[in-house]
Chains A and B, each alone.
Chain A
Amino acid sequence: MNRQGSSVQASGIHADAPKTAIEGTTGPQPHRSRGRRFPAPLVTGTALIASACLVALISLWWTPFDLTGVDTAGSLLPPLSDGHLLGTDRLGRDVTSQIMAGARNSLIVGGAATGIAIVVGVVVGLITAASGRVAREVITRVIDIGVAIPALLVALVLATVLGPGRATVIAAIVISFVPWAARVSVGPARQILAREYVEAAFAYGRSRWYVMMRHVLPNIGSLIAVQAAIMFATAVLAEAALSFLGVGEPPPAQSWGRLLSESQSVAHQAPTLVIFPGLAITAVVLGFMLLGNGVHALLDPHQRRREMEARE
């Protein structure tokens, strides 16, 4: 990450960056100038994501109670009773175990959707950046329309014909993310393609493919990483909403959105059931948002300078 970050600055995307190194310069990278290499949001975000991944991993081998164990006698227990840390739901299932297993679902959907969308979208973006004026105009128009169409709408269309399920959700999120990934990579890719060293590489006889992989991709990589983190957060939110609506993966799989939807009918008797799955979703989404924005701030000293000037 750091290596890519400094190469972006060196390539001049943030040409005005070095000016920010006012107080106690310790190195060539401006973000070190304030003596703090990792800002708090970045650390918090990483910690939130790491714990979610850890919980999801542990749930593969161990959960406090059996995931499918139904016990109607012990239903709707309040938190901290009978060894149930977060209580039990309407069917007497342990909420802690359900939430742990739900982390798996959110991370799988978020990871798969973001991964596929980034690869496809960036390829589309690079092709667009490298193509002629007319083709670029046409593709850009199509991308603009695609960006305006929300994932939820695509998911509802897909669910009508394919039925609910994890594949439907992932496909819908991918369809709505690809134009987004393409849009954010076109501009920076064109900036890099206009540089002298790219011209030199072409003059030297390098192929377009080589230039894309060797020069363009590494230079826009950190920007794409930031977008990927924000996309991951958005995907987790979309998955939760779709599961809540009944379009996500059906039981016996666990998902946070469906836990919330099931808690609706018993909100009178067990208000805590409404709280915990929502907290879990918020924590993971916030983690990825903080990570994305933290990396962005690290790479964009321009913003930090504005903040410092505005303070005066």
Chain B
Amino acid sequence: MGRIALRSFAVLLGSALVGSLLVFGLLRLLRGDIAWVIAGQDAPVEAVQELRDELGLDRPWFVQYVDWLGGLVRGDLGQSYASGYDIAEQIRIRMGLTLSLAVLSLLLSLAFAIAVGTYAALHSGDGRGRALDLTAQLGISIPTFWIGMLLISFISIRMGWLPAGGYVSWREDPVGAIRSLILPVLTLSVHLGAVLTRYVRSAMLDILNEDYIRSAMAKGRTFGSAVATHGIRNGAVPVLTVGVLALGSLLTGVAVVEVVFSLPGLGRMLLDAVLSREVIVVQSLVFIFILMILVLNFLMDLAYGLLDPRIRDKRSVA
């Protein structure tokens, strides 16, 4: 197990390095001189030169790259150009909110998907199963930001039950923090919950026909306990695979939802940076988003090994 963990960790580091090079390269390749991007097309030449000196853009690209990477590790990325805030500090402050949105939505969607997906699999032949399947397809098709807007319209504006946006930190007002997170987490969970439900249903359908369920019942287990002890663990592997793939869309969903509910997270910061063309902020934030996806991938990789001894053995042999 330790060796697999080490291997996965090496893959994580390698992918992170490739990812940082890609992000850095893409922004440089597309527009050779980012001083122009920051200053704007019709800025005076002297102003652009000044900016270039200040940001050290005349140095070779790999020096700039190493400088940026070092800054990321040390937690010192300089100041924002348009708004003057300290980039690394802002990221630290906002990270908590974005992560709690992502993790809470993931947990809620998983719980929902396991319950509803199993129910749908058990009733796959009749009307209930078909209705649930159609509902899940609908859930996948509704744009996330629109769900947020509808919830704001009806729950916040019409009924006045929950705040329409904004965020108070946990330390100041825990109840207020929870109240401001309810609608965003619900919004995010619709799409992910629907995607996962369909996969849980499909995995469950496979499992219900497996021989080991029949064997467990033959040796005296009830159907329910056979599925609970043997089925769920087997079904978890394919569902986990989809979960990993869904993480990317979950994190970008978080960014969009932060905009809808005006929450001060990393997504809001990224969008503001894109619209004011702050290359260094965009570069750092996109890398952090990729890093979050990779780290969650890494954790899922470890979970695979724990869930399925076959994967564990196959990998340690290889």
Contact = CB atoms under 8 A, between A and B. Distances in A.
A306 B205 CA distance: 7
B294 interface: yes
Contacts of A162: 30-31
B39 to A, nearest CB: 13
Given A157-B286, A286-B137, 6 more contacts: A149-B293, A150-B249, A161-B31, A237-B141, A241-B252, A263-B149
Interface stretch (B2-10, B98-106, B270-278, B303-311): B270-278
Contacts of A237: 141, 143
Given A160-B274, A241-B256, A278-B150, A310 B209 contact: yes
Contacts of A307: 124-125, 205
Nearest to B273: A160
A282 B252 contact: no
A247 interface: yes
Interface of A: 41, 145, 147-153, 156-162, 233, 237, 240-241, 244-247, 257, 260, 263-264, 267-268, 271, 274-275, 278, 281-282, 285-286, 289-290, 293, 303, 306-311
B125 A267 contact: no
Most chain B Cβ neighbours within 10 Å, of A237, A290, A310: A310
B87 interface: no
A156 B252 CA distance: 10
B121 interface: yes
Contacts, number: 143
Most chain B Cβ neighbours within 10 Å, of A148, A159, A286: A148
Contact of B209 (A260, A275, A309): A309
B294 A148 contact: yes
A157 B206 contact: no
Contacts of B255: 152
Nearest to A287: B141
A-B CB proximity, top 7 nearest: A311-B125, A278-B146, A152-B252, A150-B248, A286-B141, A285-B141, A161-B30
Interface of A is mostly: helix
8 contacts: A152-B256, A153-B289, A159-B274, A160-B27, A241-B144, A244-B143, A260-B149, A264-B260
Contact of B157 (A41, A233, A267, A289): A267
Contacts of B126: 311
B199 to A, nearest CB: 13
Contacts of B259: 244-245
Nearest to B247: A148
A274 B140 contact: no
Interface string B139-157: 0111111100110110001
B145 A241 contact: yes
B146 A282 contact: yes
Nearest to A45: B137
Nearest to B31: A161
Given A160-B37, A290-B137, A293-B137, A310 B121 contact: yes
A79 B174 CA distance: 42
Contact of A161 (B18, B27, B158): B27
A244 to B, nearest CB: 5
Interface residues of B, number: 62
Interface of B: 15, 18-19, 23, 26-27, 30-31, 34, 37, 121-122, 124-126, 134, 137-138, 140-146, 149-150, 152-153, 157-158, 202, 205-206, 208-209, 244-245, 247-249, 251-252, 255-256, 259-260, 270-271, 273-275, 277-279, 282, 286, 289-290, 293-294, 297
Contacts of B206: 306
Given A158-B30, A233-B141, A278-B146, A153 B290 contact: yes
A241 B253 CA distance: 9
A157 B27 contact: yes
Nearest to A145: B15
A282 B138 CA distance: 8
Nearest to A312: B125
A150 B271 CA distance: 15
B146 A264 contact: no
A293 B130 CA distance: 13
B254 to A, nearest CB: 10
Contacts of B209: 306, 309-310
Contacts of B277: 160-161
A162 B209 CA distance: 53
Contacts of A244: 143, 145, 256, 259
Nearest to A151: B252
Contact of A260 (B125, B146, B202): B146
A161 to B, nearest CB: 4
A237 B191 CA distance: 11
A149 B30 CA distance: 18
Nearest to B34: A161
Contacts of A285: 140-143
Given A160-B274, A311-B126, A153 B137 contact: no
Given A160-B282, A240-B143, A306-B209, A311 B124 contact: yes
B157 A310 contact: no
B32 to A, nearest CB: 10
Contacts of A151: 252
B275 A246 contact: yes
A153 B252 CA distance: 7
Nearest to A246: B275
Given A148-B293, A161-B30, A156 B282 contact: yes
Most chain B Cβ neighbours within 10 Å, of A160, A271, A285, A303: A160
Contact of A282 (B143, B158, B202, B290): B143
Nearest to A275: B150
A181 B273 CA distance: 31
A241 B143 contact: yes
